[in-house]
Homo-oligomer: A and B are copies of this chain.
């Protein structure tokens, strides 16, 4: 019989113990931070009914949804009725509509969980990856937007990240901008898609794209002048003061800046739009200078929950770019990675000693140490067991062969130093305590 390919599916990863431990440490740090900010954990299913997800992520996003075949008699039809979750925001909107009055208002939740996208897998891009979201449902107050910003940046700091800064804008200010520069409202989408790329393709790139998209030459010239000024934010601000919507948008941005105060290194980014079309108010992104990358982002989306019920519910939140950050942390931690093994290995020197080793391990565990009896097969050589112990990062090997059993003693070996002590069985705990607490 031919054997089956043992690789994980394209775009997915197996996480071996050291990877899991490193990731779990980061997740625990984030959870602790969000808990400390009054957010509570929520979990939603891995899959949703297809109609819950379709039509929420734009045409391109819809193409990337993994669909699940109907089971049973309908299987042969090739139809799908379920789909894997594509992000954590749409399921949250569904939950908010479903459990509305059962939840506190505002409802503050976080979720750290995998999502799935049928993207072309590439370098550092996966089809299964974790998202880490924090949202507040049911509040139209900018205090909720500010609380998101403070929680997200506190989480980044708790992870040990430095050298990041926060850029904020408001969809209202962007609408004012379109108005102030004399762009027709129906061309807003075209203009914003191009402007949003400023960080990526630079001013020349943006200008070229605005020309290509056939926006008014006067508007393009004015934008080009303002964005190449010594202080682009000030230049755009001056322009926005001429539009009523612009003034209202700027007021929103300024109020948010006041609310977060100096807890967060935050500035106004006049053309930041954040691609997702569901944003309706403030938007933000956290950029890491050294990395030249966005490591967190979010904004207000007051219209999404209304897709699941007849009443709109205001909502705002953010998402931490977990996989990118984990790669950063991995590089920093490589040297100090904890081994995923127990502190103590009780060796098994002969078949007759195996039950003794299992019992001894139980006794050592009761003293508060992590420990296993050697449970490998084959010939019971000491050298092989010590190699295994070393491989697992074990610190003390407890050896009890025929001799030790006859003399009611036990031999303990500190693996780092090679130091070895034979003590009465009753005194076993003392060398362990001494070496493991050293």
Contact = CB atoms under 8 A, between A and B. Distances in A.
A14 interface: yes
A99 B14 contact: yes
Interface string A84-126: 1000000000110111001111101100001010100000000
B263 A359 contact: yes
A: interface residue count bin: 35 or more
A17 B109 contact: yes
A259 B13 contact: no
Interface centre among A43, A102, A354 (most CB of B within 10 A): A43
Interface stretch (A136-144, A219-227, A265-273, A395-403): A136-144
A410 interface: no
B20 A43 contact: yes
A45 B14 contact: yes
Contacts of A47: 9, 12, 66, 84, 116, 128
Interface stretch (A207-215, A236-244, A340-348, A422-430): A340-348
Contacts of A103: 16
Tell me what chain A mostly uses at the interface: helix, strand, loop, or mixed.
Answer: mixed
A263 B362 contact: yes
Contact of A143 (B46, B49, B142, B358): B358
Given A16-B103, A37-B365, A141-B375, A3 B392 contact: no
A41 B21 contact: yes
A277 interface: no
Contact of A146 (B358, B370, B377): B358
Contacts of A369: 36
Contact of A308 (B3, B82, B104): B3
Interface stretch (A72-80, A173-181, A198-206, A320-328): A72-80
A341 to B, nearest CB: 7
B41 A24 contact: yes
B45 A9 contact: yes
Interface string A304-317: 00111110001000
A128 B48 CA distance: 11
A42 B69 contact: no
Interface string A4-32: 11111100111111011100100000000
A94 to B, nearest CB: 5
Contact of A375 (B19, B139, B260, B392): B139
Interface string A366-407: 000111111111100000000010011000000000000000
A436 interface: no
29 contacts: A1-B307, A5-B308, A6-B94, A7-B98, A8-B44, A9-B49, A12-B47, A14-B43, A14-B95, A15-B44, A16-B103, A17-B40, A17-B109, A40-B341, A46-B84, A47-B66, A66-B68, A106-B377, A139-B376, A139-B377, A140-B377, A143-B358, A144-B376, A144-B377, A146-B354, A150-B358, A150-B361, A150-B362, A260-B358
Given A9-B49, A37-B370, A77-B78, 5 more contacts: A6-B97, A37-B365, A104-B392, A106-B388, A147-B358
